[in-house]
Structure 1
Amino acid sequence: MTANTLQITGSTGRAVFGLSEEERSREAALREQFAAFWGSATGEPRAIYDRFIGACPVQDGITLTPLETADVRGWWVQPRRSEQGQAILFLHGGGYVQGSAKAYRGFASQIVGRLQVPALVIDYPLAPEASLPSAPQAALAAWRWLVEQGFGRIAVVGDSAGGGLTLVTLSELARRPIGPSPVAGAVFSPWTDLTLSGASMTDPTVHDPLIGRDYLFDCAGKYRGTLAADDPQASPLFGDLHGLPPLLVQVGTDERLLDDSRRYAERAAAEGVPVQLELWKGMHHVFQLDVAHLESSRTALDRAARFLRAAFNA
């Protein structure tokens, strides 16, 4: 069982969550499942990745509908009832080289079901076939489409690379608004620094079971194209953070992107952004996906939903 908050300190509203012995045992068993899956999976890498992500179950009472317009392609993930004018723009992870809206429907549904707000999960151009600024442009096109449909209160949510893309999108909207301002951003293990300069990238005490520094280095090179790794479109950590909406950042302490989250939250707070940073002890990369296995995953998503509900109601 997940422990209560152990501490809350600093201007970032930092919260640290510990694990019970029982939850640590479940986490260890899940890591064995990860190793077995990645050690035996066969097929095209993107298809394997989608099978892994697609194992996150779809919440009961959720409708899944494909969407394709001239500028936006993805899936609507919708509850039976929702407040008119509210929506989530969901940006998926995968290192900018993998992932699809279809694979992420289950994960998005876990947020939608808790919040009772529909989510548009989009497909954006992947590297190496496409490079910057293709992905941010696709995210802004989806935002514009939601505004044109009459949605006036929109939050942006993303995981891993999609979390980085979420923060880039929010910065772009702060500088060049398209309709209403975002009500909030929520990111899970965001990739904020493509220079890979965070201490957790090489920390020998970190045992990330899902991603390594070499993988991230390869993805970064494919995604950024001609842009420098510290360009704000690639690495939101180095961008202008003034004017961002309230942010929730959740990250596990046993992952390479730990310092991407910590440093981003610290920078955002220093620039006056209301930000909540949650550190989950011993958890792996985007542990929120594992709702079928971990109480920590369910609790973290409950907290994310409460944060977003407060933002929508503000």
Structure 2
Amino acid sequence: MSETQLQDHRRSKTEIIKLPSEERQREAALRERFASFWATATGDRRAVYDAFISGSPLTSDVTLEAVDEAGVRGFFIHPQQAEPKRAILYLHGGGYVLGSAKAYRGFVSQIVSRTKIPALVIDYPLAPEASLPAAPDAARTASLFLIAKGFDRIAIVGDSAGGGLTLVTLAGLIGKPAGPAPVAGVVFSPWVDLSFTGASMTDPDIVDPLLGHDYLQDCARKVVGAHSPSDPLASPLFGDLKGLPPLLIQVGTDERLLDDSKQYADRAAKAGVSVELQIFEGMHHVFQLDVAHLETSRNALDRAARFLRDAFDRG
């Protein structure tokens, strides 16, 4: 191993989390539930997606505060006791065309309950009504909003398209004098390459029950607008990753975005970023949402919470 390879290895850590046999059975039952839901769902596509995401339960130890000021709209989710000046900015998934802060309140409360750190989950402009750079602009505005509110230790967390948006936002904040740099980024199944170079996008051995290649291609066309799919605003995989804070990436083996996570972790390590890649065997896209059904989902969120707590304590 060369000196450069050794340094990359020290900066990165990849862990494969095995799936117990009893959890395989629960995963299979959950996939049947997914198939039934999507086969019978009718009505507005955004309302249906929000109903699906809202299945992640709201914890009983948080309070909700609606936010609509300074160009930021969404919800603050507060733990019962919070340490001062710490906050999480959460950017939701949905392929840049679906999703809302309201639908994600339950899921984000799971993170808040575990970390004891308040989180702001925002609405950002969706495609096709709004294309790039609308979503990154909204995310940056939200991060500056938190700084203006007095938070000086901030982490950014997101899933799927929101995971990609998280990484775009972190890169956009590097070296900017607007406030303190984020202490960490955590992304669940991030979509980081809208030019579709990852082999898992078309791998016939992957059976992703929630996300298809054709669907993602349609979403990409709608959000990129006049930009190239390989523009770092669309695909953070191709951006300058030097200077990013510590990153945690979680992904399942049974999803189209598996190679997005692998490729990004590799590029981040080569850029000198401390990055942990956790690959969960047999898991589907953003399985962390399914805390009510899977021990693996709860385990993954516990791991993410420990990573965030450590990052805030160091920051």
Q: TM-score range by the shorter chain?
A: over 0.9
SS of 2:132 mapped into structure 1 = coil
Provide, for residues 85-133 of structure 1, a one-character-per-residue CA deviation record: whole Å limited to 9, x for no partner.
0000000000000000000000100000000000000000000000000
Q: Which ranges of structure 1 fall in alignment gaps of 5 or more residues?
A: 1-8
Structure 1 residue identity aligned to 2:47: A
The AA in structure 2 aligned to 1:39 is: A
What one-letter code is carried by the residue in structure 2 that aligns with 1:296? T
Taking the aligned partners of 1:165 and 1:176, their CA distance within structure 2 comes to 18
> Which residue is equivalent to 2:148?
148
* Superposition map of 1:101-116 within 5 A: 101-116=101-116
Following TM superposition, where does structure 1 have runs of at least 4 consecutive aligned residues deviating by more than 3 angstroms? none
Question: What is the distance in 2 between the residues matched to 1:178 and 1:111?
Answer: 27
Alignment of 1:135-214 (within 5 A): 135-214=135-214
CA distance in 2, matches of 1:214, 1:298: 30
8 Å contact 2:70–2:145 — kept in the other structure?
A: no
TM-score (norm 2): 0.96
Q: 1:278-314: CA deviations, max 9, x gaps?
A: 0000000000000000000000000000000000000
Q: Taking structure 1 as reference, are residues 262 and 140 closer, same or farther at Cα in structure 2, changes over 3 Å only? A: same
- Is 1:66 aligned to 2:61, yes or no? no
Correspondence for 2:218: 218
Instruction: Tell me what 1:311 maps to.
Output: 311
Amino acid in structure 2 at the alignment position of 1:168:
V
* Cα deviation 1:268-287 (Å, max 9, x = unaligned): 00110000000000000000
Q: Secondary structure at the match of 2:18?
A: strand
What is the count of residue pairs matched by the alignment? Answer: 306
Over the matched positions of the two proteins, sequence identity in percent amounts to 64
TM-superposed deviation, 1:175 = 4.2
Q: 1:210 offset after TM fit, Å?
A: 0.2
Q: Which amino acid aligns with 2:251?
A: V
Tell me the CA shift for residue 197 of structure 1: 1.2
Secondary structure of 2:28's counterpart equals helix
- Residue in structure 1 matched with residue 129 of structure 2 by the alignment: 129
Alignment partners' CA distance in 2, 1:176 and 1:282: 40
Residue 4 of structure 2 aligns with which residue?
A: none
Which residue identity lines up with residue 154 of structure 2 in the other structure?
I
Distance in 1, Cα, partners of 2:175 & 2:49: 34
SS in 2 for 1:19: coil
Unaligned runs of 5+ in 2: 1-7
Task: Using structure 1 for the length normalisation, give the TM-score.
Answer: 0.96
Q: Give the match for residue 245 of structure 1.
A: 245
> Counterparts of 2:215 and 2:311 in 1: how far apart (Å)?
35
Secondary structure, counterpart of 1:90 in structure 2: strand
CA distance in 2, matches of 1:216, 1:154: 30
